[in-house]
Amino acid sequence: MSDSLQKAFLGVIALGVSCIAIELVPVSRKAAYWNRCLDSTVLWLNKKPDLKEWNMKDKESLAVGVCNGAVHEPKLKSQ
């Protein structure tokens, strides 16, 4: 009796782990897309001559805003 109950519990655990893994696929794809956006935006910012004096943290902060959709200016304004 306990052997069949143990097998049933293992089956439920396996099913649960499988469902969780399936649910994580879209999240991992979105994270990979966001990381590519961040990397390409930082590379683009590194090429801008107006932003040469900015440090890497400032560029990454701006890139996060761009990838999150928070930047609405068509041109970068540097001081």
Residue 61 placed within a domain: yes
Is residue 78 assigned to a domain? no
Number of domains present in the structure of the chain: 1
Q: Does the residue 79 lie in any domain? A: no
Structural domain includes residue 30: yes
Q: Is 77 or 61 the better-scoring residue by pLDDT?
A: 61
Q: Residue ranges of the alpha helices (H) in the chain?
A: 2-47, 56-68
Is 76 inside a domain boundary? no
Domain residues for 9?
2-68
Tens of pLDDT, residues 22-56:
999 999 999 999 999 999 999 999 998 888 889 99
Q: Is residue 74 part of a domain?
A: no
Q: Mark 35-57 as b/e (b = at least 16 C-beta within 10 Å).
A: eeebeebbeebeeeeeeeebeee
Mean pLDDT for the chain overall: 88
Q: Give the pLDDT band of residue 19 (cuts 50, 70, 90).
A: very high
pLDDT band of residue 63 (cuts 50, 70, 90) is: very high
CA 21 to chain centre: 17
